[in-house]
Structure 1
Amino acid sequence: MKNKLNIYCKYFLVSGMTATIVSCSNTKFLKDGQLLYTGAEVKIESDSLTKKEKSALESALEENLTPKPNSSFLGLRPKLYAYNATKEPKKEKGLRYWLKYKFGEEPVLLGDVDREFNKDIIVNYSENKGYFNAKAKYDTVSKNKKAQVIYTLNPGGRYLISNVKFPADSSLINREIQILKEKTLLKAGNPFDLDVIKAERQRIDDGLKDKGFYYFNPDNIIVQADSTVSKNHKVEMIVKLKDNTPKLATEQFTIDKVVVFPNYNLRDAKKGLYNIPMSEDSLKGYEYNDIYVVDPKKKFKPRMFDRALYFDKGDIYNRKDHNLSLNRLISLGVFKFVKNEFVVSDSLNHKFDAYYVLTPRELQSLRLEALGRTNSANYAGSELNLNWTQRNFFRGAEQFKASVYGAFDVQIGGPAEAENIFRAGANAQLSIPRIVAPFRFNSSSAFVPRTNIKLGYEFQNRTTLYTLNTFNATFGYQWKENVRKEHELNVIDISYIDPANETPKFLALKANNPYLQRITDQQLIFGPTYSYTYSTTMLPQRNTFYYKGMLDLAGNITGLITGANEKEGKQKNIFGVPFSQYAKIENDVRFYHKFTEKTSLATRLIAGVALPYGNSKYIPFSKQFFVGGSNSIRAFRARTLGPGSFDPRGANNTRAVFDQAGDIKLEMNAEYRANLYKFLNVAAFVDAGNIWLINDEFNEAGENIRPGGKFSKDFLSEVAVGAGVGLRLDFSILILRLDLAMPLRVPYYEKGDRWVLDRVKFGEGSWRRDNLILNIAIGYPF
């Protein structure tokens, strides 16, 4: 212990000396009289503000000061040092140029700081937050060729709102404003805040847009603050229309005609086609439910526009319906560009026409993809895909996709005896932009609901072991409540797995191993599946959240009707094949926290359980859980970890097929991500988790073929832990990820010997070969 303490002390001493040397070395490049600017600090002198209020105001003020000092990491400024230490490049390319001008940062000097300007910013910001008597000053502190500016603010008392007035008159627009005032953001007793005032003006504008005032603007609202009517730092707020508000902005408009051009192009734009008055002679279209469609070749069925557009003739203009219609047209997936324009047709009666000009995408596409891949299970392979897409299959924006593919994976080394894999198959999917059902489904979402029909077949051959034929079919619905919430319900989800060509080698392997036997059992799996997704990751905020829950119920109604009970010897068949009966639930929770624009923390928790009952003793192999690999616990090879404390290293020959499956899954991941330079990102991560069995698996001799695999109260001691670092090359259209991981805790070691931190030996080649796992993948793991 003493030796380790001495090592740590030496490490911190060396680190401290290195930091001091590098930090000081930046100042040696300065000319006489130059001072390196290290940043600003704001101090607030006030007895009326709490410590929390002071801290919040100081942080906000410091955020607004310019310029920012050179970036630092752990007290060092490596980018500044790169700029200073690199000689002037002769050409605007090459390593020297990149190091100095792309990676490096030019020094920010005290002379670059306009202290008077920053002082004015501090005062103005404070006044905007209600500190009307704010006063500021600054002082410069310099030492060792470095300088810091300290700004001191005396904010005075903060003004609070005494009351809020919305003067009334007889105009139509004022009557609507009087209705909107009930939900005003300006509340008596709250501090004066310019940002709140701006938000209130926008709120009124949004409300008026929903009432037909299309030409209104937030700038037409004035909010006056009167501090003379009250004492003790109080201010009265008066919200009203500006005197010079244009007459057009105060008029409420209704929809006269709705015209759709579904085959719009740039040549039409030159003609100004969507600006001309509607007439049958000039537009050569036809009317459908008060919508006039200009589609001479009739490429699209008009009812698709009737379902997508929320405006009808005579409706009062509504901003929500306006945006809703545009979003639904876009979500049909058949139009590349969607443009909307309103043209006044009757100014006396305040009516305008709504024109929708739509530019179709290429309705058909044929794409050939060739992919190369490798994984941590020592497989490398290639895949060839041929995809055909028709985006308007029945002229109603129905998307039909068909694909055929072939792939192979070859073992390229490693300690495991695995078999090469060949796969080939075909898939077809029809996606209909509405709910096809015997019941009525009304959706006011901006996203068009869809009915999805899928058919697929895959042929899989594990060279010298076996062949599987897999058929699947689904019929279901997909719909979104809003941008955050999505549902997917597959009413019919059928999979039929038919084995063939089991080799003598595999027959010998599985002869006394029910786990291997289930891999090539004939399987019939059918039942509904449902998933719910909630996500805020697309929103521009510091903390975002993602959740996906999945429920899979197989054979439950059929099992109930037939009285199936495998435990009592009453296993039922359909067409001679036992059907699977189980309930499976899986939850995927992710939380993302952004520290700065370039650093963030990503975390994930996965918890799932699959329970067999009725007609099944075990969960079908294809529906079980797996862990390990590039998107899971990266310190262990793909699908080789678990279940529980079971040691998969060759025991009972299960390593021959490599995959270890379980009925219960628990996985946790945390990853710190940082951007170094444009497309170059790094990460440090920790993964933990495992899988377990619901029931032990015994062979005919009564032997437990995967001892330690069953879930028990000691499950926490069987959680595997791994950690590592990663490099990510983000090219926008492609993210190439390289993660190097090593195990920290191995669940199949003896119970008191599972932590392996004391056995880390980076200097030994054999240790690196057995413990360092390189994962190469596309995209982020979560």
Structure 2
Amino acid sequence: MKKSRITYSPVAAVALALAVSSCSNTRFLKEGETLYTGATIDIVNDTLSKREKSNLKDALKDQLRPKPNSSFLGLRPQLYIYNITKEPKKEKGLRNWLKYKIGEKPVLLGDVDREFNEKILVNYSENKGFFNARASSDTISKNKRAKVAYTVRPGARYLISNVTYPEDSTIVNAEIQSIKDKSFLKAGNPFDLDVIKAERERIDEHLKNKGFYYFGADNIVVQADSTVTKDPKVELIVKLKDNTPQLAKEQFTIDKTIVFPDYNIADAKVGKYGIPYNTDSVEVINDLYIIDPENKFKPKIFDRALYFDRGDLYNRKDHNLSLNRLISLGVFKFVKNEFIVSDSLNHKFDAYYLLTPRPFQSLRLETLGKTSSANYTGGEVNLNWTHRNFFRGAEQLKGAVYGAFDVQVGGPKDANNIIRVGANAQLSIPRIVAPFRFESSSAFVPRTNVELGYEYLSRTGLYTLHNFNTSFGYLWKENERKEHNLKVLDVTLVAPQNISDKYREQIEGNPAAGIPANPSLQRVIDKQLIFGPTYTYTYTNTMLPKKNTMYYKGLLDLAGNIAGLVTGANAKEGRQKELFGIPFSQYAKMEHDFRYYRKVGDKSSIASRVIAGLGYPYGNSTTIPYVKQFFVGGSNSIRAFRARTLGPGSYDPTTQNASFFFDQSGDIKLEMNLEYRANLYKFLNAAVFADAGNVWLVNEDPERPGGKFSGDFMKEIAVGAGVGLRLDFSILILRLDLAMPLRVPYYAEDERWALDRINFGSSAWRRDNLILNIAIGYPF
């Protein structure tokens, strides 16, 4: 029987010290002061279910003020930092920052107004239909700590007995009557003030879309009558307020639509409502008035973006849609809209759009320092130029030149530094340029994108690659959640140069020097011609204020399919075809990236991710191009393994007889990640995570035994886990993740789990197993 070994780390010692110290926060209190540690709420009611009581209790607890000092695992480290930090003599400095930014002032029992909180609890209960609610409280004190125990007796919850919408002869009432069957207020449901507010907003939204521009939700009143029966029931009457302005009851239509695309609020001649009167240069297109004296924009861009036509009934949906499309053009800094009555007798108004352009051209220099878990440290410099109105139609032309270097520092292999220099350009046109008509009612303007790029990559002492790429395609969004990106043609050409004798020796082998042949290295420096369509679909609702959100991205990449079919290519049978003297790639590839985020508290959440990918070479190819294969390991993947050093399958990359490590790639990828995230203090977040996955080959590779995908693939899953800190400064998130392997797929099958070999006390073990990842942004 093996003896277990207990080891200690400095981190554990610090945590223990902090725990002991945090327990003595009360010794800093003055005579007569008591630390407030929170509140409890007891619901006394026999008619509510256990779940209803729990929901009501949680909602009531959110209403209480003040909140106690924040705690972590039952401790209050921020309060302790405040207590042990001496009063600063200056308003700025480290001591002031520690005490008042990091630290947290003690919340005392004397800060709690129990009578006020009781009223809050009663008021909230009444808003939820408990009209006879009562509340009381008591204080429980011990060892200079106190909590307040609230008791709420809500009584019976009133239900809706009937909902009435009185009729009259007005147009606005007729519209309300037409949608009353879709009311949120239903007989038998509990009375709820939030639902009543939602019903008023629903009616208001409908009327806004029917021309009632001046109508507002405040013009609707919902009267509640609880005297109808002796039972705890209430009748609701939904109607217009008696003092509703006549203007709010009238439907308005659009007369003229006037656009000022070069509006400057400081310099413009201003008339009524801040609308400039200068109409010296007016261009009319489809009843659209464009006032652009300097002719900076083509009028057609406004005709495509604006949804109002002359004579149209005002519609809030089209109103917002037009504004969003103007913003999504990307050329305007401010977009303002005004409606001014032009014919009060016939209920018409003019729509004015006041647009302030952004500077058409901008130049930005970016510098970046970086490090990777593969022992590479380097930097990058980017010079980006943007023109936002290149052909006067809000076309965006972007150009960039960049240079980067990565130097290997440390590590068990010879250093082979990487130098990258490149340039690229992209033209984005705010419409679909195609021989067919593309209609979009989305708030996002569809775009046609043309890209062209070149990169020079030198891996010193090994090889040089010239990478040319170009693409033509379309980007459009159905709504804020769904995005499509179709590249009708995506072309990549990779041309090698300056292949060193050292690298060729690794490919061909040198028996005299004891170096075996490694033909798989040839794929890195093969001439590659890849062309075909790619399609990406993205769905996300992570921008919505929901408890649970998700993200999905699917990719389909088809290369050389038509060319392979036309030429009858079959590489396996020796009929590999060429274009321009280069064998073209033929394959089908798909990848699915699914992420799920679940909030488990006010300051914590669980994030999970599953990635599955498959690339299948056929026809003119026996393998997928190296640049299109899958890789795992690194700061955004399985963090317990260095970048691109894991797999394929059970192949052990440490056994390769090369003087350098090369990236391990595969045709099949499976990866799973689970991460618990918690906010410790404002910008400081912590995480505990576990990663698992691997890559495999479709076909057998004699040089990488164990790399082919088989029915035993689950036995070849790598597993790692770790902890991390994230410094979230909004515009920048700096991430530090410390991970270690728990399961290593290239060990002997009965020794792959490494849990019994964990030894934090061993410097050799820490050097070989603890991987520090420093990165920007969250891993997923």
When the two structures are superposed, what TM-score results if normalisation uses the length of structure 1?
Answer: 0.94
Secondary structure of 2:441's aligned partner: coil
Gap regions ≥5 residues in structure 2: 509-516
Is 1:548–2:560 an aligned residue pair? Answer: no
Alignment of 1:405-424 (within 5 A): 405-424=402-421
Once the 2 structures are TM-superposed, how far is the Cα of residue 112 of structure 1 from its aligned partner?
A: 1.4
Aligned to 2:568: 563
For the 8 Å contact 2:552–2:592, the answer to whether it is kept is yes
Once the 2 structures are TM-superposed, how far is the Cα of residue 694 of structure 1 from its aligned partner?
A: 0.8
Once the 2 structures are TM-superposed, how far is the Cα of residue 3 of structure 1 from its aligned partner?
A: 6.7
Is 1:675–2:679 an aligned residue pair? Answer: yes
Distance 1:274 1:219, change over 3 A: closer
Q: Given the alignment, which residue of 692, 695, 712 partners 1:691?
A: 695
Aligned to 1:759: 757
Q: Given the alignment, which residue of 270, 293, 313 partners 2:310?
A: 313
Aligned to 1:384: 381
Is 1:352–2:349 an aligned residue pair? Answer: yes
Secondary structure of 2:440's aligned partner: coil
Aligned to 1:183: 182
The aligned amino acid for 1:362 is: P
Once the 2 structures are TM-superposed, how far is the Cα of residue 285 of structure 1 from its aligned partner?
A: 1.7
Aligned to 1:295: 292
Once the 2 structures are TM-superposed, how far is the Cα of residue 763 of structure 1 from its aligned partner?
A: 2.8
For the 8 Å contact 1:530–1:550, the answer to whether it is kept is yes
Is 1:398–2:417 an aligned residue pair? Answer: no
Distance 1:78 1:508, change over 3 A: same
Distance in 2 of aligned mates of 1:152 and 1:482: 47
Deviates more, 1:618-627 or 1:517-526: 517-526
For the 8 Å contact 1:418–1:658, the answer to whether it is kept is no
Q: Given the alignment, which residue of 713, 720, 723 partners 2:721?
A: 723
Aligned to 1:457: 454
For the 8 Å contact 1:652–1:705, the answer to whether it is kept is no
Distance in 1 of aligned mates of 2:494 and 2:86: 66
Distance in 2 of aligned mates of 1:7 and 1:738: 23
1:498-531 Cα offsets, whole Å, 9 max, x none, are: 2222222222211243311111112111111001
Secondary structure of 2:381's aligned partner: strand
Distance in 1 of aligned mates of 2:454 and 2:661: 22
For the 8 Å contact 1:602–1:671, the answer to whether it is kept is yes
Deviates more, 1:547-556 or 1:458-467: 458-467
The aligned amino acid for 1:739 is: D
What count of residue pairs does the alignment treat as equivalent?
A: 770
Deviates more, 1:406-415 or 1:443-452: 406-415
Deviates more, 1:678-687 or 1:337-346: 678-687
Distance 1:91 1:494, change over 3 A: same
Once the 2 structures are TM-superposed, how far is the Cα of residue 675 of structure 1 from its aligned partner?
A: 2.8
Distance 1:12 1:289, change over 3 A: closer
The aligned amino acid for 1:755 is: W
Distance in 2 of aligned mates of 1:467 and 1:14: 49
1:519-546 Cα offsets, whole Å, 9 max, x none, are: 1112111111001101111112222211
Aligned to 2:223: 224
Distance in 2 of aligned mates of 1:23 and 1:678: 20
Secondary structure of 1:92's aligned partner: coil
The aligned amino acid for 1:673 is: R
Alignment of 1:470-485 (within 5 A): 470-485=467-482
Aligned to 1:711: 709
Alignment of 1:276-675 (within 5 A): 282-511=279-508, 512-653=517-658, 656=660, 658-675=662-679
RMSD: 2.3
Aligned to 1:701: none
1:606-630 Cα offsets, whole Å, 9 max, x none, are: 1111111122111110100001111
Large movers: runs of 4+ above 4 Å: 1-8, 11-19, 21-24, 273-278
Alignment of 1:58-73 (within 5 A): 58-73=57-72
Distance in 2 of aligned mates of 1:678 and 1:24: 23
Distance 1:411 1:30, change over 3 A: closer
Distance in 2 of aligned mates of 1:397 and 1:377: 43
The aligned amino acid for 2:589 is: K
Distance in 1 of aligned mates of 2:552 and 2:294: 45
For the 8 Å contact 2:413–2:661, the answer to whether it is kept is no
1:533-570 Cα offsets, whole Å, 9 max, x none, are: 01111112222211101011111222222222222222
Is 1:174–2:173 an aligned residue pair? Answer: yes
For the 8 Å contact 1:419–1:657, the answer to whether it is kept is no
Distance in 2 of aligned mates of 1:273 and 1:541: 42
The aligned amino acid for 2:218 is: D
The aligned amino acid for 1:719 is: I
Aligned-residue sequence identity (percent) comes to 71
Distance in 1 of aligned mates of 2:64 and 2:491: 62
Distance 1:274 1:33, change over 3 A: closer
Secondary structure of 2:452's aligned partner: strand
Secondary structure of 2:179's aligned partner: helix
For the 8 Å contact 2:184–2:199, the answer to whether it is kept is yes
Secondary structure of 1:174's aligned partner: helix
Distance 1:85 1:532, change over 3 A: same
The aligned amino acid for 2:688 is: A
Aligned to 2:514: none
For the 8 Å contact 1:137–1:152, the answer to whether it is kept is yes
For the 8 Å contact 2:268–2:276, the answer to whether it is kept is no
The aligned amino acid for 1:709 is: G
Once the 2 structures are TM-superposed, how far is the Cα of residue 652 of structure 1 from its aligned partner?
A: 4.4
